[in-house]
Structure 1
């Protein structure tokens, strides 16, 4: 049985109350389920929005159970839907656990499909073009052998099936496709294309689970085969919606990367090798292009921080423009060879596309968009980024003819959704703010230590370490120490290792992969983990393994970021207040994310320690405090120690 094209069924408050009640289907099917008024309130808001076709933005505090709160109305409405997430973890959870369980519990069978980005699917054409003998390493050659064996029997081509090869392995770039190098319907292996099959299954589904990147690809129809999901959907739920505006902006970004050029040169060399005769002239030109690309990499100033176009330097600009000219000439030379194979035809198109993008970046109007360069491990990414894409996002949402529900735990600044909704355009949104069901007054404290200097003061990080050490003793480790910069993190790690009174297992971002650090944190009895931005969100540690989250500074974005500087200048030029309109709300939302790592379940407890004295000394500190969960605030270390002692005395 599948959903038929019909009006959305009205979902009554009584009906939802029964579903989410103590004797309802969720209580029978969901482990540890307990009725929550907040979850029911969100479900009613979503059901009402779906029935009235009213667009909704809803912030649901941690512990609300927002996933079930929107999935139940989606299933009961009985119409086709798209659900978009910001992370693969949530995408997998929805597809593999929540939706099958709910469909059974509610007696609402539905065809559900999960669609991933094309980099998650094996490309048979590219696999056949890889030369095992020229693999970069013995390990890569071994991995190619495993992939070839797996390719013989896989049905989906989803690379997650082959768990023996890490998803960060370079081999996957060689055997998966991108929008740039895909041959589409011209591919000789198109009939067996895993991406095409996955998209066809998604078009036939009742509910499709995607990520924000794929949702934007469908909205903008930037790839062949997209623009075919939303026209069949009646409504779209965007979970982890705080990430959506930045993802959406990226789709209006024009970029050229060293990795793209590298990959093009490798693909073209493979196509030439596969031809009937060797083309010595072309092979020499590819070598010259590779050398020029290496020179462009070396022309950039040392460091890993993003650079404005002027900071990148004239030599970099000249070398990149030279690459564009050479690639355009190469496209002309490839024209007579395009009849040999679809692969050469696609390489020729890619040569011209990269050349055109470089020219567009080099000649852009810097008042409407920012030209900037981001150094990477593989070289660089040159970008042209519009400063404001809200009109484009609004036009896409309007054109979709869907009902939209955006939800996250961090959308409002205080009680105001204006900062988030303004990034979606000028349309009117219904908004709801659902509080967390947790009893923060009993299970949490916000500790603002006294006597710390301003963050700009010399030795500030040393003062932070001195202040957190007695708290770590009271908490018995089990802590995340979150920093706003890598420099402060490294300094804190050195200081802690030098202290004789610090004897906890120390885990430091950058010294091991993120996944290993989190696994080791869960295995250890009293760990202390030091992290920056990647640990401020998307980490869910429940129970008593994490009882302290320390934040060294209020998370204002770095003033050296060229994108931020350009945005602030644009606001200033339009008569606005850059701090109040952008920097402050962005920092408030980032702090909410960091604080949200602590209390994840009813049985959790702990202390949030914010070291930055501006939180209590500056007038804008009130907005930060109003946006956080209602935790009692203390300035006294003795209060923190008593709080830990009280909760630890009740532990088994």
Structure 2
């Protein structure tokens, strides 16, 4: 780091200097010889008022800058700082464009030196980071960032981050650095120049990376002897499962410094072991705080070892999979008196093909996203032990590139040089000898189809988060077709002049002299590709038109789910079905034409180069995807089926967000025949499997029989009576007898009053995004909660986990969420003191799957409300309730705004399905008094 770097951050009145937006704060931090030597910052008078949203973002107000210097007054100092330096910023083009404009207006030439962007650097050097905002990266690297969106604080943090990024770069092997440098010509910043200087400065004698990395076929990879977690303790064959409580306590206390005996956890251990021993399918509802992961893993380990059989543990979410492998398995290893081998398995496409990636590095003319993704992966390969794509944070263009390098069935045998390093083969081989295989519901179900079989043969399984199993099965037994995926697939082929897969196919034929001058076929395929692209656009336009003409689009409602039926829909339906038929025929024609060309190549396959083989793999993979796409179109529109079909659409961006779904309404028969009847012992567990203390609903949904299924309820160890107060305001209107606007006005007033009493720390759960959005807007408009951080799903950008982290970061915060926030959100302690449920979580009656299920139940003479709508809503309500108390020391208020919970007969079923807690009704003033006393 012999250079001078000046790290700059600006606050401005807007985004566009050409339209008169101005700088209101300038800050620079100077780095020389690898250390921060100087910093300078100044408020600046923009000679115009600061917009309200900028004031809210930065905390900078008109009165703070009115006596500040004009930019022209500090311009000489700024110009002198930048002389002979790299210009560094987080999102460099933004800061540079403003600075250029102001420097030129002040009579200077502007800055034309080298620039570095810490966003771009972080994406490459931290390929697995959750996000690349400065605040996210500061948390990741444990940097003190007191005042986000104030230039001096941002510049200081950016400078510290930049030093970390350069240090990490300099620790990479020279091979990786040279490959990064070679790829970086197409970046937005001058990172290539910096990397070339780092390469020159490298101390060849100090290659510390050799301890943890190895060079294999011109790729630097992390040394990874194993993808499995295991211990080498001896296994005593006659070791019996510890039935007695003393045995369990002795075992489990080894894993905890301060272990509190959990009777429920011990009950669960015995329940799981007995279920496997007796060969019975079993449902275990384990309340929050039971410690169910260890409750099933310990008996699973004993059972697997005693019987030399693998046991599969399946979860719904990646987070729980990761949590089990990184937290629970090391704990299990610590407490067991014998070694146990655990493997995490995902679908084949989750793993990288090193051979394909190495070949892709030889290609040139990449676009920006592909260049950046290749650089991310080069760095990631020095870190990853799994080769699992879920570790990477890729852009949408990066995901497209991943499809070219993902691991899949290969036409040509994998090169022996790569075989022993192949992540997929390693994971698969380790699974053959594993005691416990951790996977997800989707992969478990895809294993039902023999040709896709990935898991070793197994007879025993744990289905964690079991309340999701039926929904995942419905998706698995169904089909979906969305515009973006379809367009991205077809765009890979291109036309002959576009130098894409079609061009590559013809090139290989020419090189092998297998084309035989057949230009007519070439022209025919070119025309087919053009027709297919046109028909695909036409098909999705007609899909959107059908949706639009069959929905009563409410004002301001942007997203809709519209049921599709071949029996109704008028001319829009006829046009859509005809388009689907044309689309399917064109897909078949193109697939057949490509297959014919591939047959010509097969005759000459002995003379193929490795580069040609790599391209052919891509073309064959594309052709297989075409066949799969045609099957999907036929299943959705042409073949007769009883599936429920519907369209999901966003009217603001019709083509980009249009998806067609076809799913069975009920999956119990499929699950019974293809899964449960073939397995000896399956245990489903979750905190929410019962409705009003009965398992009947869940047993029926997943296709089990009441007579042959064991059930077990393990209550939570939490003292809910003293930890929770349930409050129901009686001064709100009935949710179903008032307009959306009036209901939103009423609940907004209550939310403001409650927030002031709880000092924020509120999670508000909605059942529909339009109500959430209107409530959020009205709260903001009121101005009463301006000093609270308002975080809203679908409005505040970021994933569920990022929004949850932001909520925990502020002292006074309110989090508004829908669907995915009803479960899986874990906010222990005082960060969450109040949970508000805006309305009981019934699915809308016109939601396609709900509507179809209710129709079928009615046709069979049943009661759709009591058999389906009510139990489903109760299970979601229980999930929502579970967000409030996460540890035995938590205390909290739960408010239910929907009065139906006390005014209807069925309301009792909701109350009886959650733990018994004190309930109080009253007007908002009376309830706020209770809140003040309670908290």
Given the two structures, how large is their TM-score scaled by the length of structure 1?
0.90
SS at match of 2:295: helix
1:290 to partner: Cα distance: 2.3
Q: Which position in structure 2 is the counterpart of 1:305?
A: 560
Q: Does residue 1:289 correspond to 2:553, yes or no? A: no
Indicate which of 661, 679, 683 corresponds to 1:405: 683
Q: Which position in structure 1 is the counterpart of 2:669?
A: 391
Change (3 A) 1:126 1:306: farther
Deviations 1:544-572 (A, max 9, x none): 10011101111110122122211111111
Q: Does residue 1:240 correspond to 2:465, yes or no? A: yes
Write the distance in 1 (CA, Å) between the matches of 2:536 and 2:257: 56
What pairs up with 1:219-368 in 2 under 5 angstroms? 219-221=448-450, 223=452, 225-226=453-454, 228-229=455-456, 231=457, 233-269=458-494, 270-275=500-505, 277=507, 279=522, 281-299=524-542, 300-301=544-545, 303-310=558-565, 313-339=573-599, 340=601, 341-365=616-640, 368=642
1:441 to partner: Cα distance: 1.0
Which 10-residue stretch deviates more, 63-72 or 422-431? 422-431
Write the distance in 1 (CA, Å) between the matches of 2:680 and 2:404: 30
Q: Does residue 1:495 correspond to 2:778, yes or no? A: yes
Write the distance in 2 (CA, Å) between the matches of 1:565 and 1:122: 41
Write the distance in 1 (CA, Å) between the matches of 2:317 and 2:663: 23
Greater RCO (Cα-Cα under 8 Å, separation 6 or more): 1
Q: Does residue 1:382 correspond to 2:660, yes or no? A: yes
1:245 to partner: Cα distance: 0.8
Deviations 1:31-55 (A, max 9, x none): 5431122222222211221222222
What pairs up with 1:558-569 in 2 under 5 angstroms? 558-569=844-855
Q: Which position in structure 1 is the counterpart of 2:32?
A: none
Q: Does residue 1:549 correspond to 2:775, yes or no? A: no
Write the distance in 2 (CA, Å) between the matches of 1:271 and 1:151: 27
Q: Which position in structure 2 is the counterpart of 1:18?
A: 246
Which 10-residue stretch deviates more, 184-193 or 235-244? 184-193
1:450 to partner: Cα distance: 0.4
1:632 to partner: Cα distance: 0.8
Q: Does residue 1:509 correspond to 2:793, yes or no? A: yes
Q: Is the 8 A contact 1:443 1:605 kept in 2?
A: yes
Write the distance in 1 (CA, Å) between the matches of 2:333 and 2:926: 48
Write the distance in 2 (CA, Å) between the matches of 1:484 and 1:281: 52
Write the distance in 2 (CA, Å) between the matches of 1:354 and 1:313: 21
Deviations 1:558-612 (A, max 9, x none): 1221222111111111111111110000000011111111000011110111111
Backbone CA RMSD of aligned residues: 2.9
> Structure 1: which 5+ runs fail to align?
none
Q: Does residue 1:144 correspond to 2:374, yes or no? A: yes
1:407 to partner: Cα distance: 0.2
Write the distance in 1 (CA, Å) between the matches of 2:820 and 2:284: 24
> Structure 2: which 5+ runs fail to align?
1-230, 495-499, 511-521, 549-557, 602-615
Write the distance in 1 (CA, Å) between the matches of 2:232 and 2:756: 57
1:118 to partner: Cα distance: 3.6
Write the distance in 2 (CA, Å) between the matches of 1:50 and 1:10: 15
1:126 to partner: Cα distance: 5.5
Change (3 A) 1:342 1:168: closer
Deviations 1:353-380 (A, max 9, x none): 32233223223446x2222223377453
Write the distance in 2 (CA, Å) between the matches of 1:306 and 1:536: 21
Write the distance in 2 (CA, Å) between the matches of 1:293 and 1:547: 51
Which 10-residue stretch deviates more, 300-309 or 586-595? 300-309
Q: Is the 8 A contact 1:118 1:178 kept in 2?
A: no
1:321 to partner: Cα distance: 2.2
Q: Is the 8 A contact 2:369 2:398 kept in 1?
A: no
Which 10-residue stretch deviates more, 207-216 or 375-384? 375-384
Change (3 A) 1:262 1:197: farther
SS at match of 1:274: helix
Indicate which of 464, 474, 477 corresponds to 2:747: 464
Higher Cα Rg: structure 1 or 2? 2
Deviations 1:60-80 (A, max 9, x none): 111111111111111222242
Change (3 A) 1:492 1:29: same
Indicate which of 295, 299, 314 corresponds to 1:73: 299
SS at match of 2:815: strand
SS at match of 1:600: coil
Which 10-residue stretch deviates more, 282-291 or 197-206? 282-291
Q: How many residue pairs were aligned?
A: 634
SS at match of 2:505: coil
